[in-house]
Amino acid sequence: MPALPPVPAPVTLPIHGSDRRFPVRRIFCVGRNYAEHSREMGGDPTREAPFFFTKPADALVTSESTIPYPPRTADLHHEAELVVAIATGGRDIPEDQAPAHIWGHAAGNDLTRRDLQAEAKAARRPWDMSKGFDNSAVIGALVEGPLADAPITCTVNGRLTQSARLSDMIWSVPEIIAHLSTYVDLRPGDLIFTGTPAGVGPIARGETCTVAIGDLPPATITIA
């Protein structure tokens, strides 16, 4: 009988100013949560119910990492996003109680194989391989506690590509948590990418991409 594979190492995120690490359970993502980004992707930015997709926890990449250009794509895109870390979960969480379930926040980059996504949309197929590939969830160090409105930006080799404010979201963070909890039982360690502003675009080999949100530590990666 063949030996069992080794138990995978736990996936964790650094916590700013601490030697502790935050254990990661699942990664959820909200699609088209900024009006201008919805328009640039051919959508209608009216307040229809938010929709969600996922990334595997082991797709996580911490800031200051160098990663390979992903296979089977010629159009890798950045998407600057606020990431929310869940401390206590539940199902059917009321919107006014959602903030009490948040542990903290981080800057994130939802890397996307845009050409594969376009092919999947055209064929009415799932997006999984365009969103949930290796090294596709870039996240900076977590900061514990609440977060006020702040600017969110993305730069590629120092060139500004995305710029907005968190208050520009169509669906607020409490609304996202409340709605997502009607689909799944949120648990401690779950992460939520909350959508990206307009200006998504390509990252080429050799380029460095940085997502910054207010005073949160930035999420920076370099493509090998």
CB atoms within 10 A of CB 149: 11
In tens digits, the chain (224 residues) has pLDDT values of 889 999 999 999 999 999 999 999 999 999 889 877 556 656 666 667 889 999 999 999 999 999 999 999 999 999 999 999 999 989 999 999 999 999 999 999 999 999 999 999 999 999 999 999 999 999 999 999 999 999 999 999 999 999 999 999 999 999 999 999 999 999 999 999 999 999 999 999 999 999 999 999 999 999 99
**What pLDDT does 130 receive?**
98
**What pLDDT does 42 receive?**
61
122 HSE (CA, 13 A, CB side):
6
**What pLDDT does 38 receive?**
59
Q: Which residues pair with 52 in a beta bridge?
A: 30
**What pLDDT does 143 receive?**
98
pLDDT tens, residue by residue, 3-21: 999 999 999 999 999 999 9
CA separation for the pair 40, 77 (Å, rounded): 14
3-state secondary structure (DSSP) of residue 68: coil
Which residue has tokens 């493509």?
223
**What pLDDT does 46 receive?**
67
**What pLDDT does 44 receive?**
64
CA separation for the pair 129, 185 (Å, rounded): 25
| Domains of the chain with bracketed CATH | 12-223 (3.90.850.10)
Cα 185 to chain centroid distance, Å, stands at 19
